Amino acid sequence: MQNNETRIGTDDNDIYSIMDSSKKWYRLLKLLDGEHSVRQVYDLYHPQQCLSFDSYRKVLAKLEKIGAVTFLSKPFHELDEYEKRKSDFTLYYGKGVDGEKTVRWLQGLTVAVLGSGVGGCLIALELAELGVGSLKIVDPDIVDLQNLDHQLVYTQEDVGHPKVLALQKHINSRCKKCQVQTSVARIHNVADALAEVNETDWVFCCMDEPPYVAQRIVNRACYIKSIPSLYAFSSRDSAKAFIVDPDITGCADCLLSSEAANGLTQLVAALKKADFSPITPTNAVSAAIEASWIVQKWLQKCIFNTASGGILYRFDFDAMQEDKFVHFQRDSACPTCGRQSPPNNSQRDLWKLISIESQGTNVS
């Protein structure tokens, strides 16, 4: 940057400056192009300056520790998916995570996205863009003209066609390697959900109908199959999400249980009596923010270890920031993951109001 300083990095908060009046480090660092070994770089550089190999390695190790340099297992051009994932690799490496391992993990995943509406269509697209190898998208609905103003994936040509087919076409027009399975099944009960989440590694529940019941059904199916799951919710001012690690964290029913005595049971009872269907007010901007925030939360959980299950996260669209997190525990009276103790009266009333038991489903 200045005559006596070499700066590594271009961001405003991700840089490292070293004093370098003779420019020796500048010349050396320029040789770190991802294609030469540590020894080759030293041999290329050494004739110009007097520096021992040991000192040079110590400096590189120090730079690696602060995320300024990454040691690769092989030259950059030999890494899989090199062209497409070039920036992904460097992003993950830059954040202290093995980029190649992360991309390989994503490629090996099968993720079910249940619901292809406001959040689901963008979440599925972002997962494919991140390199998820296989997606199963499930939604019984047809693209309607009114969807186009906030469901950003769909176009005029898609109107009248099943959402999942339009979404599949859109994803594959960008990510040819992503295998996209589609289903137009409507999930009425746990057996339906089991059929859709079978043989998947992760489930994103982006369904919001019927309220609470849809999430309970998916939660029960994922618990039975021991599949980790993420639940997304939209409201006018905020997005909410939580992640369930089966048998480790509380599940969706545990969260509902904890709110049963705090007015949730009365709210659900009032909503069921009311003669109207609530519509979630949203627009394209909040839809895009919500989807990206949710996928980022998932990355934080799976890759960066900075988010976890058992927490209800909320993102405020007006303040453009996350609110205080609400932790919830496994509930011994939970009808899905507990059953060691009987439910209290509020919980019993709640489970009756949003029952997920139905005929032909022996999974109560």
Please report, as ranges, the residues that interact with Zn ion according to CB under 5 A.
251, 253-254, 334, 336-337
Q: Report the nearest approach of Zn ion to the CB of residue 225 (Å).
A: 15
Q: Report the nearest approach of Zn ion to the CB of residue 227 (Å).
A: 14
Nearer to Zn ion, 307 or 334 (CB): 334
Q: Report the nearest approach of Zn ion to the CB of residue 264 (Å).
A: 15
Q: Report the nearest approach of Zn ion to the CB of residue 330 (Å).
A: 6
Nearer to Zn ion, 89 or 313 (CB): 313
CA nearest to 29, candidates 65, 59, 74, 67? 59
Q: Report the nearest approach of Zn ion to the CB of residue 352 (Å).
A: 17
Nearer to Zn ion, 116 or 219 (CB): 219
Q: Report the nearest approach of Zn ion to the CB of residue 78 (Å).
A: 46
Write out 240-262 in H/E/C secondary structure. EEEEECCCCCCCHHHHHHHHHHH
- Contact status, residue 110 vs residue 199, Cβ threshold 8 Å: yes
Q: Report the nearest approach of Zn ion to the CB of residue 289 (Å).
A: 29
State the residue for tokens 């005559």.
3
CA dihedral of residues 145, 146, 150, 156 (deg, nearest 10):
10
Q: How far apart are CA 104 and CA 37, in angstroms?
A: 23
Nearer to Zn ion, 40 or 341 (CB): 341
Return the structure tokens found at 71. Answer: 């040691």
Residues in the chain: 364
Buried b (16+ CB within 10 A) or exposed e, 266-290: eebeeeeeeeeeeeeebeeebbbeb
Nearer to Zn ion, 116 or 336 (CB): 336
Q: Report the nearest approach of Zn ion to the CB of residue 310 (Å).
A: 10
Q: How far apart are CA 61 and CA 177, in angstroms?
A: 36
Q: For residue 349, give Cα distances in angstroms to 267, 274, 346, 354.
A: 12, 18, 5, 9
Return the structure tokens found at 146. Answer: 């009114």
Q: Report the nearest approach of Zn ion to the CB of residue 266 (Å).
A: 22
DSSP 6-63: EEE-SSSSS-EEEE-TT-HHHHHHHT--SSS-HHHHHHHHGGGS---HHHHHHHHHHH
- The angle formed by the CA atoms of residues 215, 221 and 296, to the nearest 5 degrees, is 55
